[in-house]
Chain A
Amino acid sequence: MSLTVPAPIDPGASLIAGFPFPFVEDRYRYSTNVSPSPSLVTTPAGQWGAAVVDVDAEYRRELAERKDILAKDPGRHVVLPHMRGAAWDALLTLMHELAVAYPGRMSLARTGPHRWLWENRVLDEVLEFTYGDERTLPDEPLGYIASQVQDDIVLLDQRADQLWGDAGVVTFAADWSFGFDVGMSFLEIHGPVPRLREEGIITRAHEFLKRLQPHQPYRRTNWTLTIGRRLDVSTELYPEWGPDREMIQRVDDVTFGRLVHLRVEVQHLIRLPESGAIMFLIRTYLLPLEHVAKVEPWRIRTAQVLAELPEDMADYKGIIKYKDRAAAWLQASGDLS
């Protein structure tokens, strides 16, 4: 086994209970699967979706990891000059969402017409700042708020009937590169995804986003498989994690179930209220198959989805070499119990 694979952690009961299991039927296809947020979803293991911004047991660990990634590769954080107002808008919007969701641990209070007091008791941070004045923050506003939420953040500017990915902090990309995509249009960014254009999904999503109104957030889920508990599977680090796709085919069954994770992204789509930019949040959850298998309806459904998944989609997701084994592994783990 390669030593580069991040060790699995014991996800603990709370991470399983809060896992946003993504499959609503035994077959997965791309769709414009958006729904209003927040709204609570009950699963066989617990529930998720009560807040726009989710803080869980991995909060401090993931924020520390983001900080390390940004220190090594500052290119994961880009704010084009015309996105300055949108970055502030994102900061205030996310602080407000955190304060509403976690009143005991986070708070946002106004101290003057443009002055705000932010308190994050989980990180033990207190900050009084002036909206729009970078000198009152320890970092550029998007960079600062990315140190307070587990979500990756992309801001899209809307102009000339298109959306443009002109700012973001993305440290936990699943097989893509924010640094490569920055400044591209929404349609260009999604160009490589099979079926999306042919089936009209991407143009429908584009139209939906262009009409999205402030104060009415939406969300969707997306998923893939990841080897090891590795949040950063960005294109930039492909030499580190790419070989795991070969390695994983040779490990024994116990190791396979420990290392292969179902990776779920809860993505939020929010029209920022002052700038009018779209804020795209990507919150990543990882659960090893050995834990997926402990929740019987999840085990059965995930096995069926993986077994049925068409080759082009599996290839794009980068799981074609081991998704059949993952399906068989999940099926077999039921036979054993």
Chain B
Amino acid sequence: MTALELVVTALDDPVPGVRSVTFAAADGSEVLPTYVPGSHLVVDCGGRTNAYSLTGDAVCPPTYSISVLRLDDGAGGSRWIHDELSVGDVVEARLPRSAFAPASKATRHLLVAGGIGVTPILSHVRAADQWGRDVQVLYAHREGRGAHVAELRELAGDRLELYTDQAGFVARLEEVLAAQPLGTHLYVCGPTAMMDHVLARAAELGWPPSRLHSERFGIDVLDPGEPFTVTVAESGTTLDVPSGTSLLEALLEAGHDIPNLCRQGVCGECRVPVVGGRPLHRDLFLTEDEKEAADVLMCCVSRADGPTLEVSLR
């Protein structure tokens, strides 16, 4: 029920280093399942599973589209898409999953994109156009590397602002964050350092956390993380999780049988209840609400926000 077989119908490199892939249903169906704007598609990339934001129409779409930045030092999923995938190939995917949804009661959606982080933002801009929602878009990209600029311009018109220099973007961000109508929701997707900056500035300017939304994936490889210790509640045993080792790897090594599949924080298999300490969520699977509740984490990518964590493995 959650699996999809997709066939590649078109490949395109809109800007250097970015490959856009168009998929149709492998069984010949004329429509693919509708998805919430901002959703991602989990694709089996030659044995690895990676998540990519869907960029096209969301309602009964004849095709799904993703745009993938080639990461030469990444785990291999993007290289597989750039180097191996051909028109006519059939790939396995899962039903799109929503973790970056528009807010129905937002008075405005302020959308901030950096680099290839533009992909879920494009999906939001399409939805805003469909439903007549108020948007403002800031898109920072390297000179000559702005994927999807033409589509964004067509959909958002003068609500779109493009920046190719960091100083210009940072200065404009300050103005924009300080001058939004009450009830604006901020959405940001881009490189980690950029998202950290945007979210930190928003917090300092008094934005409530419930109006800040960020999507952290497909942008760059997750950092190795800080070391911490984990206690297994049932046995009381404590394990070290060094920087560069995932919590899943540490638990498996200690002989705990944790179901797992993608090891990318997208499939949801390795969900573990948290009974002590605060999780540092880095997955795509849990909803924002579940992340805030802080009583569960995806141990393949998420870590401790602090020196210790206690989990239940019953």
Chain A contact residues, CB within 8 Å of chain B: 82-86, 89, 92, 110, 113-114, 131-132, 157, 159-161, 210-211, 213-216, 273-277
Q: How far is the CB of B59 from chain A (nearest CB, A)?
A: 5
Interface pair A132/B60, CB less than 8 Å apart: no
Interface pair B289/A276, CB less than 8 Å apart: no
B238 at interface, CB cutoff 8 A: no
From A89, A216, A276, A277, name the one whose CB has the most chain B CB atoms within 10 angstroms.
A276
Interface pair B33/A273, CB less than 8 Å apart: yes
Count of chain A to chain B residue pairs whose CB atoms are closer than 8 Å in the complex: 63
Considering the complex, give the chain A residue whose CB is closest to the CB of B105.
A82
Interface pair A214/B36, CB less than 8 Å apart: yes
Q: How far is the CB of A162 from chain B (nearest CB, A)?
A: 9
Q: Give complex CA distance A277, B287 in Å.
A: 14
Interface pair A92/B1, CB less than 8 Å apart: no
B95 at interface, CB cutoff 8 A: yes
Interface pair A273/B103, CB less than 8 Å apart: no
Interface pair A214/B33, CB less than 8 Å apart: yes
Interface pair B104/A273, CB less than 8 Å apart: no
Given contacts A132-B130, A216-B1, A157 and B59 within 8 Å (CB-CB): no
Q: State which of B30, B95, B103 has its C-beta within 8 Å of the C-beta of A214.
A: B95
Q: How far is the CB of B246 from chain A (nearest CB, A)?
A: 24
Given contacts A132-B131, A157-B104, A275-B104, 16 further A-B contacts (CB under 8 A): A84-B131, A89-B34, A110-B30, A159-B105, A160-B210, A161-B289, A161-B292, A210-B289, A214-B34, A214-B98, A215-B1, A216-B1, A216-B2, A274-B36, A274-B37, A274-B59
Q: State which of B30, B31, B98, B103 has its C-beta within 8 Å of the C-beta of A159.
A: B103
Given contacts A211-B287, A214-B33, A276 and B59 within 8 Å (CB-CB): no
Q: Which residues on B sit within 8 Å (CB–CB) of A113?
A: 57
Q: How far is the CB of B304 from chain A (nearest CB, A)?
A: 23
Residues B6-44 near A (CB distance < 8 A): 30-31, 33-37
Q: How far is the CB of A82 from chain B (nearest CB, A)?
A: 4
Q: How far is the CB of A41 from chain B (nearest CB, A)?
A: 19
Interface pair B58/A274, CB less than 8 Å apart: yes
B82 at interface, CB cutoff 8 A: no
Interface pair B95/A86, CB less than 8 Å apart: no
Considering the complex, give the chain A residue whose CB is closest to the CB of B61.
A113
B66 at interface, CB cutoff 8 A: no
Q: Which residues on B sit within 8 Å (CB–CB) of A215?
A: 1, 33, 95
Considering the complex, give the chain A residue whose CB is closest to the CB of B101.
A276
Q: How far is the CB of B27 from chain A (nearest CB, A)?
A: 15
Q: Give complex CA distance A93, B31 in Å.
A: 13
From A89, A214, A277, name the one whose CB has the most chain B CB atoms within 10 angstroms.
A214
From A132, A160, A274, A277, name the one whose CB has the most chain B CB atoms within 10 angstroms.
A274
